[in-house]
Structures are given as C-alpha cells and as structure tokens.
C-alpha cells in the first residue's frame, strides 16, 4: 500500500511580497483497502507493527507529527476490509512528510509490506475538529468510530450544514460527552459525498453511554432534526487502532 500514493503536492505557497500565507486546515488521507487472497487481520497487524518500526528511522519532523490509525468495520455498508487514516497538520506538512517518507528506504519497505497483503484506494480531505474532549493514545485498540457520509439536500449549502453543527456543539458541551468529532471536506477525492463526520469514542462502552445520552435528550433530538433538514447521511461503526500519535499534539 502506498501510504502517500498521490502525486505529492509541493505546496510551498507564498505571497507576492514573500510573506508566508496562512496554513491550510489539517489534511487527512483516507485509504479504503481489501485484503489480498489468503491475507487477513493478522497480516494487517504485522504490517502495522513493521510500519511503526520503520517510522523511527525516518528523519522528518513532519512524519513525527503524522497521525495514523486503522479502522475495521463493525456495522457498516462497506466493501472495504479495513481503512487507513493518515493525518497531517496542514498541506505543506503533508507534502514535506510524504516526500521524506516515499524517498526513504524505511518508507519504501513499509509500503512494500502493505502491498503484499492488501490493495487500496485513497482520497484526500481537509479536516477540522469541531469538538475535542479525549486525547488520542498510541496503541489504543479499543476506540470505536462512527463515520457518516452526508449529502446536502436540494437548495442547501455548506453554510447551512455548519450552522446546524452548532446544535451538536452545544449538546456535546451540555452533556459533557467524551468524544472527538471531525468534519471532512473532499479536497482531491473521488466521492459523491459533500461532507463526512467522524465521531471517536474511547471504547464500545463509551459509544453506548454517549449515544444513550444523545438519543434520550431533548438537545440530541433537536440537533438531529436540524441536521436532517440540511443533509442526508449514512453511517457506519468501526473498530479502531491508533498506530501513531503526533509528537506535537
């Protein structure tokens, strides 16, 4: 699996007066993967372990600030056997880290290990965190992720969607829900979906507790109603494994 298979984007942008422009939002590269014939979860675990060992050999600050996780379906309408999520702080960091990774023997060896056990397709997104209450821990194999792909309804805009998010933000705070929530907007992506939402829980018990609070509260019902007027969403539930945490969180 080529973890940076996109043509690496050299995003060295500068104003005409040579002052640096503001950085982009966080970049997330999402890979949907299927096992090669005869391969399975044990091969994925082995490839991940090897990848982790190779990361220590790459002299790149940008790769040290890379976030990596795998997801496997629990209850989802997906043809993929697993997903790889790779996050960078911004587009420049993504480009620099990708170049350092793909040009290193360590990165090439890690990719070769994934290529032997899977085939993958990738999409690139801009990601923004809209609620944060749990710190990711490398090696956490208990976290679960809700993932929703949403299409705007006729006549609705992204601005309408962002306004509807306010109801969820207020609910998360009021109910003290321990979740991390991200919005993904397609950047270089072959997807019919307008926005994705990822909701991460510490474990399955937390997933049950958090969603019970939401479903049985007036704020949860109101938030769902407001969003349903703007978008149509389809979701899935996934088991996660955090394989790399940024050095600078």
Task: Return the pLDDT at 7.
Answer: 33
List, for residues 89-115, the tens digit of each pLDDT value.
999 999 999 999 999 999 999 999 999
The C-alpha atoms of residue 6 and residue 31 are separated, in whole angstroms, by 11
List, for residues 121-165, the tens digit of each pLDDT value.
999 999 999 999 998 888 888 899 999 999 999 999 999 999 999
Candidate from 137-141, 171-175, 243-247 with smallest mean pLDDT: 137-141
Residues 6+ apart with CB under 8 A from 209: none
Average pLDDT over all residues of the chain:
91
CA distance to 65, 122, 205, 210, per residue, from 101 (Å): 13, 17, 37, 38
Beta-bridged to residue 236, according to DSSP, are: 147
Q: Is the pLDDT of residue 18 over 60?
A: no
List, for residues 20-59, the tens digit of each pLDDT value.
679 999 999 999 999 999 999 999 999 999 999 999 899 9
Coil, strand or helix: which one is 216? coil
The C-alpha atoms of residue 162 and residue 178 are separated, in whole angstroms, by 21
Domains of the chain listed by start with CATH number: 26-244 (3.30.70.100)
**Do residues 243 and 47 lie in contact, with contact meaning Cβ atoms separated by under 8 Å?**
no
**Do residues 11 and 188 lie in contact, with contact meaning Cβ atoms separated by under 8 Å?**
no
Q: Is the pLDDT of residue 249 over 90?
A: no
Residues 6+ apart with CB under 8 A from 14: 20, 21
Task: Return the pLDDT at 19.
Answer: 57
């Amino acid at each position: 699996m080529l973890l940076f298979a996109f043509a690496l984007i050299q995003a060295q942008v500068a104003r005409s007066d040579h002052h640096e422009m503001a950085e982009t939002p966080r970049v997330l590269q999402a890979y949907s993967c299927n096992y090669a014939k005869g391969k399975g979860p044990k091969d994925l675990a082995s490839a991940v372990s090897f990848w982790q060992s190779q990361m220590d050999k790459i002299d790149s600050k940008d790769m040290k600030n890379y976030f990596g996780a795998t997801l496997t379906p629990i209850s989802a309408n997906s043809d993929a056997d697993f997903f790889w999520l790779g996050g960078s702080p911004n587009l420049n960091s993504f480009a620099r880290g990708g170049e350092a990774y793909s040009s290193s023997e360590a990165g090439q060896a890690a990719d070769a290990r994934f290529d032997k056990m899977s085939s993958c397709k990738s999409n690139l997104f801009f990601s923004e965190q809209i609620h944060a209450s749990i710190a990711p821990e490398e090696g956490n194999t208990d976290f679960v992720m809700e993932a929703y792909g949403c299409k705007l309804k006729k006549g609705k805009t992204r601005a309408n969607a962002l306004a509807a998010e306010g109801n969820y933000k207020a609910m998360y705070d009021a109910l003290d829900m321990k979740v991390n929530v991200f919005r993904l907007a397609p950047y270089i992506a072959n997807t019919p979906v307008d926005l994705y939402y990822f909701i991460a829980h510490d474990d399955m018990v937390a997933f049950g507790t958090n969603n019970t609070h939401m479903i049985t509260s007036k704020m949860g019902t109101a938030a769902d109603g407001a969003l349903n007027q703007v978008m149509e969403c389809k979701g899935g539930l996934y088991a996660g494994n955090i394989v790399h945490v940024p050095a600078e969180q």
